[in-house]
A and B are shown apart, each in its own frame.
Chain A
């Protein structure tokens, strides 16, 4: 470990990336706004924003990686990165909590109430006469028409195995890194990335099946809403995690990271375990129960 951590904290002197990030983010969202307001060219603006953002990420993280490889960080800065990443993951947990909360609220309160549970007999009689509260449901107005529910077998169960296995390979790679075994590290990480992208591929297959065969859509009442929003945001996070792991894989191939000092690897692994755990919640509450 470097010896200056006692009294020198690395503070970069100035940076261009954040302002570029703000411009990219705003452009992306502005394009989306144009798209939603049905004005022409919204998608081009969105693409421009996304390109700026991707450039910003490469530039910003590239700079940090170079600084890290140049040994400018000590254990002291490393701890800031760790804290930053942990609290970021906590904020992500709370983002998913909002959607899980919506799922629980619908299943425990709003759907039974529409069916006349508790004090809500009149709601049922006067507004939605005859509506039976069962889960899954597309609501008393049967939005989206007849549909079939998504079963937990076979695809979701296979996907669960895939994601859990990828968690194991990820940990295996981490142990290999700590043991200084680079070929096992790269193999483990490569497997993790491949499993991750396989998961996303199978999710795409599942979505196709839902839309084509089951008539289960985003517009299928509260069931479709919660199903697609939860699995969709999760899938997006898996995609992010897989991309992060891919970057880490390339860095491993280039010979980055040491036995003691590999925060980026660990951050990616934490993120990966986080999407893993969210999936378990999804598998239990969205597919199974």
Chain B
């Protein structure tokens, strides 16, 4: 049976997609699904961002201004859940969908129907999650970490929270399985593992983390559900359980999760910097090993999120040491990026600006993480704004900047049009300035003792909070510029070449801009 016989046998229209809305609902095409993921993520970015602005508006001044404390807590909880599960993860999966098959020279993802399923669960899950805000008692308000016993006091939104987490988990697991299968099975002949682009490598390892940890989260929230409704006592000391047990199980998922949110970012930056430094990536193999080491270590550091719950001292020591070890492979990466730029013929187009911004500001977030890793110091910083500043530095000028960089980098390839470089650079500078105005003062607030997740604060924290809130609104409004740039490029603009960037290397640049609907029907040979 040959390929043509198969095609002739098939009675569907297969020389192009469906027309209209149904194209997007029924599609099995990796580019269509990638686009869906990215647009979904962009929409959720503004939903989650609006929630962040509610938080910052309330914190603009001491005292209660705009919202009542319960709603404030709902906002902190929902903001986190949406940004993690609705924005950063779908954006990375969307980028993987678009780019992995092209980067490894494949015709599509390995399991195209399941690919559609992974995406189309998301809108339902997100609707269920956001719907919690409109039921009796309001949305979940116990923080995205869902610690019992507090979370068990939730109202009618509680089961909605649990099941939306289940749905999001199912979606991620299927997406990750698809990515692993694509990378292991659909690489072009000659593309050995150690010839894969780093974005492919980092996603390969991320997918493994997802498959290993999302089911653990599913188990943890299932136990919450049965504790609340079916009288189990996993997290109740009266029955022999322990609320702290939830924290252990949750963070066994949660810590690998934070690497799920950053490893693909490492991959993106490792693609962009060599292009604009016009030099091959420094230390390719060490990048791969560093990524794998980070992934391995991520499984044995979870309890650094819970140094203050009263663990045995041996445990505290172990988790402190293991956590600080992560600085080694991460440092390798940062030095490799810097060495790649060293004596390169650099130009500073928007993707490069965001990538360099990533390297600097992610490193700042990494260093504050190192401070938090030290148990005795964490006793002081735990649950303060210092923690908020730390993980926002890693996630906003870290993960989000990398996604934005990736969009600018590959947008000409996707749409066939160059984006508006001037507006792009303006977007970078506004974002970079405001993100620091937003999060830098939060370090001081935390060191001075301001607790997180509290709608009101003592007056000595007023100035820094005001600055931070101004930064928040500036940053939020700057992102509208991003939407303008993206949609302008979709609608038209200067025709992009196949190569797009002078220094770009890799299979994605051998295809036309935009690429054909079916990427590599015949696989290229890699030498």
Any A CB within 8 A of the CB of B248: yes
Q: B240, A111: Cβ atoms under 8 Å?
A: yes
* Minimal Cβ-Cβ distance residue in A for B207: A87
12 contacts across the A-B interface (CB closer than 8 A):
A2-B2, A8-B3, A15-B113, A22-B117, A25-B124, A80-B185, A101-B248, A106-B242, A110-B240, A219-B231, A221-B241, A224-B232
Any B CB within 8 A of the CB of A95: yes
Any B CB within 8 A of the CB of A26: yes
A151 and B28 alpha carbons, distance in the complex (Å) = 51
**Given A94-B213, A97-B216, A106-B241: A9 and B106 interface contact (C-beta under 8 Å):** yes
**Given A18-B113, A84-B110, A91-B214: A11 and B28 interface contact (C-beta under 8 Å):** yes
Of B2, B214, B245, B312, which one neighbours A3 at CB under 8 angstroms? B2
A60 and B114 alpha carbons, distance in the complex (Å) = 10
A219 and B184 alpha carbons, distance in the complex (Å) = 45
Kindly specify which of B160-168, B277-285, B328-336, B478-486 makes contact with the partner chain.
B160-168
Q: B128, A26: Cβ atoms under 8 Å?
A: yes
A224 and B189 alpha carbons, distance in the complex (Å) = 54
A10 and B182 alpha carbons, distance in the complex (Å) = 13
Q: B215, A95: Cβ atoms under 8 Å?
A: yes
Say how far A62's CB is from chain B's closest CB, in angstroms.
13
- Considering only residues 187-243 of chain B, those with a C-beta below 8 Å from chain A are 211-216, 218-220, 222-223, 226, 229-234, 236-242
Beta-carbon contacts of B113-134 to A below 8 Å, as 1s and 0s?
1101100110110001000000
Please name all residues of chain B whose beta carbon is closer than 8 Å to the beta carbon of A96 when the two chains form the complex.
219
Q: B226, A229: Cβ atoms under 8 Å?
A: yes
* Minimal Cβ-Cβ distance residue in A for B173: A91
Any B CB within 8 A of the CB of A265: no
Q: B185, A18: Cβ atoms under 8 Å?
A: no
Q: Which of B1, B28, B226 has most A Cβ within 10 Å?
A: B1
Chain A residues bordering chain B, tally (CB within 8 A)? 79
A11 and B1 alpha carbons, distance in the complex (Å) = 16
Kindly specify which of A32-40, A181-189, A199-207 makes contact with the partner chain.
A32-40
Any B CB within 8 A of the CB of A14: yes
Beta-carbon contacts of B288-314 to A below 8 Å, as 1s and 0s?
000000000000000000000000100
**Given A7-B3, A18-B120, A98-B215: A218 and B226 interface contact (C-beta under 8 Å):** yes
Please name all residues of chain B whose beta carbon is closer than 8 Å to the beta carbon of A4 when the two chains form the complex.
1-3, 6
Any B CB within 8 A of the CB of A268: no
Kindly specify which of B12-20, B259-267, B463-471 makes contact with the partner chain.
B12-20
Top 7 A-B pairs, shortest CB-CB distance: A98-B219, A139-B240, A222-B240, A18-B117, A8-B3, A110-B242, A219-B231
A143 and B367 alpha carbons, distance in the complex (Å) = 47
Q: A101, B230: Cβ atoms under 8 Å?
A: no
Please name all residues of chain A whose beta carbon is closer than 8 Å to the beta carbon of B3 when the two chains form the complex.
4, 7-8
**Given A94-B213, A102-B223, A221-B240: A88 and B113 interface contact (C-beta under 8 Å):** no
Kindly specify which of A70-78, A161-169, A246-254, A270-278 makes contact with the partner chain.
A70-78
Q: B252, A101: Cβ atoms under 8 Å?
A: yes
Q: B114, A84: Cβ atoms under 8 Å?
A: yes
A9 and B104 alpha carbons, distance in the complex (Å) = 14
Q: A83, B240: Cβ atoms under 8 Å?
A: no
Beta-carbon contacts of A128-153 to B below 8 Å, as 1s and 0s?
10000000011111011000000000
Please name all residues of chain B whose beta carbon is closer than 8 Å to the beta carbon of A32 when the two chains form the complex.
159, 163
**Given A36-B159, A84-B110, A101-B252: A141 and B215 interface contact (C-beta under 8 Å):** no
Say how far B31's CB is from chain A's closest CB, in angstroms.
12
Any A CB within 8 A of the CB of B425: no
**Given A11-B112, A88-B177, A225-B239: A139 and B229 interface contact (C-beta under 8 Å):** no
Chain B residues bordering chain A, tally (CB within 8 A)? 84
Say how far A239's CB is from chain B's closest CB, in angstroms.
17
Q: B159, A102: Cβ atoms under 8 Å?
A: no
Please name all residues of chain B whose beta carbon is closer than 8 Å to the beta carbon of A76 when the two chains form the complex.
185
For the A-B complex with A84-B181, A110-B242, A229-B223 known, give 10 more contacts whose Cβ atoms are closer than 8 Å: A11-B29, A14-B17, A15-B112, A83-B184, A84-B178, A102-B249, A106-B242, A138-B240, A143-B238, A225-B234
**Given A4-B1, A83-B110, A140-B238: A13 and B223 interface contact (C-beta under 8 Å):** no
A148 and B252 alpha carbons, distance in the complex (Å) = 33
A92 and B114 alpha carbons, distance in the complex (Å) = 17
A8 and B216 alpha carbons, distance in the complex (Å) = 37
A76 and B111 alpha carbons, distance in the complex (Å) = 12
Say how far B215's CB is from chain A's closest CB, in angstroms.
4
Of A72, A101, A225, which one neighbours B6 at CB under 8 angstroms? A72
Q: A14, B215: Cβ atoms under 8 Å?
A: no
Any A CB within 8 A of the CB of B370: no
A32 and B159 alpha carbons, distance in the complex (Å) = 8
Q: B116, A11: Cβ atoms under 8 Å?
A: no
Please name all residues of chain B whose beta carbon is closer than 8 Å to the beta carbon of A229 when the two chains form the complex.
222-223, 226, 232
Of A17, A26, A83, A102, which one neighbours B181 at CB under 8 angstroms? A83
Q: B245, A70: Cβ atoms under 8 Å?
A: no
Q: A118, B312: Cβ atoms under 8 Å?
A: yes
Any B CB within 8 A of the CB of A114: yes
